């Protein structure tokens, strides 16, 4: 405190200009004590600075959004696995909480929500845009085991193909279901009726009865 004003020192990450080494970041963020910021700075501004220094040509700067405890970035689909590997191994983004597919009619997006326990409450959103005719992206399940069911749900409901997924099959709909029902161009071919006077069900034309055993 100087002259009644609070002075905050901004911490910078320094790496060799010739060959950036992310290893020193992993050492700095290795704590798992659960105290906010104990494994590293929980500021999204600091995380953005670290990412831009380590991967200067990967982050699409025009799509960056900063909020309290949250950073949103956009990367190309060819860079996704490399970015997630660095985030997990060197910057303490240890957990994938959610993967959200978005149908924009003209194209697709997958939004990856990553969380850091050691830098909590820091959250990161990674947006990956996909061409309408080629809705595929490499799976991050080999990096984040928790992404397994999230990717399966996005495949089941929206038809996103996660290449390299160890078990990509439907998770909510039965195997005989045709198409991906949350797509905006999906055509519903169902007739509502009731059984027992109060249980609403749907009869799918040409379909078979049976429950979902995909879990």
Q: What is the DSSP letter of 53?
A: H
**CA distances to 3, 51, 140, 211 from 202, in Å:** 71, 49, 35, 13
Whether 200 maps to a domain, the answer reads no
Q: Is residue 207 part of a domain?
A: no
Instruction: Decide if 90 contacts 28 (C-beta within 8 A).
Output: no
- Indicate whether 29 belongs to any domain: yes
The set of long-range contacts for 154-157, using a CB threshold of 8 Å and a minimum separation of 24, is 154/99, 154/100, 154/101, 154/110, 155/180, 156/180, 157/101, 157/181, 157/182
List the one residue out of 111, 172, 96 whose CA is nearest residue 141. 96
| Alpha carbon distances (Å) from 138 to 43, 78, 151 | 29, 8, 10
Whether 20 is in a domain gets the answer: no
Closest CA relative to residue 156, chosen from 134, 182, 136? 182
Asked if omega into 121 is within 30° of 0 (cis), the reply is yes
**Residue 15 belongs to some domain of the structure:** no
Residues of the chain where predicted confidence (pLDDT) is lower than 70: 1-40, 190-215
Cα–Cα distance measured from residue 76 to residue 215, given in angstroms and rounded to the nearest whole number: 31
Q: How many separate domains does the chain show? A: 1
pLDDT at 93: 93
CATH number at residue 126: 3.30.460.80
Q: Is residue 123 part of a domain?
A: yes
The residue length of the chain stands at 215
pLDDT at position 190: 60
Is 36 strand, coil or helix? coil
Q: Within a domain: residue 52?
A: yes
Q: Using only the alpha carbons of the chain, give its radius of gyration.
A: 22
Do the domain assignments include residue 128?
Answer: yes
Q: What is the pLDDT of residue 40?
A: 63
Domain enclosing residue 87, as ranges = 25-172
């Amino acid at each position: 405190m100087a002259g009644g004003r609070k002075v905050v020192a901004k911490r910078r990450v320094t790496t060799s200009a010739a060959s950036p080494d992310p290893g020193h970041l992993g050492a700095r963020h290795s704590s798992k004590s659960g105290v906010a910021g104990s494994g590293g700075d929980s500021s999204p501004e600091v995380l953005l600075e670290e990412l831009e220094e380590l991967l200067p040509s990967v982050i699409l700067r025009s799509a960056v959004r900063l909020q309290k405890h949250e950073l949103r970035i956009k990367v190309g689909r060819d860079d996704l696995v490399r970015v997630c590997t660095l985030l997990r191994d060197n910057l303490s983004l240890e957990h994938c909480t959610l993967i959200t597919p978005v149908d924009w009619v003209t194209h697709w997006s997958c939004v990856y929500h990553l969380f850091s326990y050691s830098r909590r409450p820091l959250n990161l959103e990674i947006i990956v845009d996909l061409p309408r005719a080629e809705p595929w992206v490499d799976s991050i399940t080999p990096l984040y085991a928790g992404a397994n069911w999230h990717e399966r749900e996005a495949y089941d409901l929206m038809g996103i193909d996660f290449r390299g997924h160890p078990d990509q099959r439907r998770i909510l709909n039965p195997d005989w279901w045709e198409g991906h029902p949350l797509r905006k161009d999906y055509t519903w071919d169902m007739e509502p009726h009731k059984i027992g006077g109060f249980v609403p069900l749907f009869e799918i034309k040409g379909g078979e009865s049976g429950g979902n055993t995909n879990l």
